[in-house]
């Protein structure tokens, strides 16, 4: 896979008044007094990884698999540390990929070698990485599962006539496959990192996803597990941002994960997708 390229013929969306083209530095909005519902919602956009799909769980199994082969002297009790380093991505290499600065394999090879160096493995050259990837990816894609609360909230929203779609910082093809294998093929994969050639937090991806969903950003909720690139960025683009902060799943490292800061920025904070259904349907 190469760096994200815009889909052929794609025209970059125009932004609503007052929305800046890049939202890397999201300005705090008005504080929310209470989270008892959102008025006038026509659509809900979902992030895929760790929002609808238990990607953390799949990563855990994939990391176990590569540890057994590539870190043979590391005690099993320490595999959790390897997973934590993988997910925290302290150098932000995955985010560099979403900005088009690294290829998909480029960021992944850097991260694989960070694990090798940190936990006493040999450094992987190109051929070594190719073999590592076979072990990692084979386990990873066999392990994709929806979170237990995904299908119920999708059913509730559909029954209420609320449109739903997915917006992700991975490629459309990868995420379409992931949703299908996770039993969520009814969720249209509307915008990926390769749709416009860049990903969240740029507000244009949110505006493009709303256009494809057929909803006004002001009447659209966006739900994601990363506070800055998901919920705050969505709010900055004119949507209602919801941060799903599932217990025990924070990434740590450089990731912004403060619920009070989230609320101060006008973001709704939930622990489950059931609460998203409550939030959207409370006032319908």
- CB of 88 or CB of 219, closer to Mg ion: 88
What is d(CA 73, CA 75) in angstroms, rounded to the nearest whole number? Answer: 6
| Alpha-carbon torsion, ordered 69, 75, 76, 78, to 10 deg | -110
User: Among the candidate windows 40-48, 63-71, 151-159, 252-260, which touches Mg ion by CB under 5 A?
Assistant: 40-48
User: Among the candidate windows 206-214, 223-231, 234-242, 252-260, which touches Mg ion by CB under 5 A?
Assistant: 223-231
What is d(CA 16, CA 274) in angstroms, rounded to the nearest whole number? Answer: 30
- CB of 225 or CB of 228, closer to Mg ion: 225
Binding-site size, Mg ion (CB under 5 A)? 4
Binding to Mg ion, residues 41-60 (CB under 5 A): 47, 49-50
Report the interhelical angle of 79-88 vs 55-70 (nearest 10°): 120
List Cα–Cα distances, 21 to 90, 136, 186, 214, 230, in angstroms.
26, 36, 31, 21, 16
Binding to Mg ion, residues 93-152 (CB under 5 A): none
What is d(CA 70, CA 80) in angstroms, rounded to the nearest whole number? Answer: 15
- CB of 95 or CB of 204, closer to Mg ion: 95
As measured in angstroms, the least distance from the Cβ of 167 to Mg ion is 10
Which of 225, 228, 245, 275 forms a contact with Mg ion (CB under 5 A)?
225
User: Among the candidate windows 98-106, 122-130, 157-165, 220-228, which touches Mg ion by CB under 5 A?
Assistant: 220-228
As measured in angstroms, the least distance from the Cβ of 56 to Mg ion is 9
As measured in angstroms, the least distance from the Cβ of 224 to Mg ion is 6
Q: Which two tokens stand for residue 100?
A: 């088009």
As measured in angstroms, the least distance from the Cβ of 81 to Mg ion is 22
Q: 28: how many CB neighbours lie within 10 A of its CB?
A: 14
Q: What residues form DSSP beta bridges with 167?
A: 191
As measured in angstroms, the least distance from the Cβ of 16 to Mg ion is 24
Report which of 173, 212, 198 is spatially closest to residue 5, judged by C-alpha positions. Answer: 198
User: Among the candidate windows 1-9, 27-35, 197-205, 224-232, which touches Mg ion by CB under 5 A?
Assistant: 224-232
As measured in angstroms, the least distance from the Cβ of 244 to Mg ion is 9
CA 247 to centroid of chain Cα atoms: 16
- CB of 47 or CB of 54, closer to Mg ion: 47
Q: What residues form DSSP beta bridges with 220?
A: 43
How many helices (H) and strands (E) in the chain? Answer: 12, 6
Binding to Mg ion, residues 162-181 (CB under 5 A): none
- CB of 200 or CB of 204, closer to Mg ion: 200
As measured in angstroms, the least distance from the Cβ of 45 to Mg ion is 12
Q: CB–CB of 199/243 below 8 Å?
A: no
Q: What residues form DSSP beta bridges with 37?
A: none
Residue number with the smallest Cβ distance to Mg ion = 49
Positions that interact with Mg ion (CB under 5 A): 47, 49-50, 225
């Amino acid at each position: 896979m190469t760096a994200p390229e815009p889909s052929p013929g794609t025209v970059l969306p125009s932004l609503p008044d007052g929305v800046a083209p890049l939202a890397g530095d999201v300005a705090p909005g008005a504080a929310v007094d209470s989270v008892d519902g959102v008025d006038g919602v026509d659509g809900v956009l979902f992030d895929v990884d760790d929002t609808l799909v238990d990607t953390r769980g799949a990563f855990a199994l994939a990391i176990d698999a590569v540890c057994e082969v590539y870190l043979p002297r590391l005690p099993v009790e320490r595999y959790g540390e390897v997973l934590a380093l993988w997910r925290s991505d302290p150098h932000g290499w995955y985010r560099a990929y979403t900005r088009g600065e690294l290829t998909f394999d480029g960021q992944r090879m850097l991260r694989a070698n960070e694990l090798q160096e940190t936990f006493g493995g040999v450094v992987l050259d190109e051929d070594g990485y190719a073999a590592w990837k076979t072990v990692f990816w084979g386990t990873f894609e066999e392990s994709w599962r929806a979170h237990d609360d995904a299908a119920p909230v999708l059913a509730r929203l559909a029954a209420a006539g609320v449109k739903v779609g997915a917006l992700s910082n991975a490629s459309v093809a990868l995420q379409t496959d992931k949703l299908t294998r996770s039993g969520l093929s009814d969720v249209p994969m509307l915008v990926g990192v390769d749709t416009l050639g860049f990903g969240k937090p740029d507000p244009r991806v949110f505006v493009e996803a709303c256009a494809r969903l057929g909803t006004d950003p002001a009447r659209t909720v966006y739900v994601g597990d990363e506070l800055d690139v998901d919920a705050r960025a969505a709010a900055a683009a004119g949507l209602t941002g919801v941060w799903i902060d599932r217990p025990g799943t924070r990434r740590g490292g450089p990731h912004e994960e403060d619920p009070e800061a989230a609320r101060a920025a006008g973001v709704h904070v939930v622990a489950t997708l059931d609460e998203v259904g409550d939030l959207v349907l409370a006032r319908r």
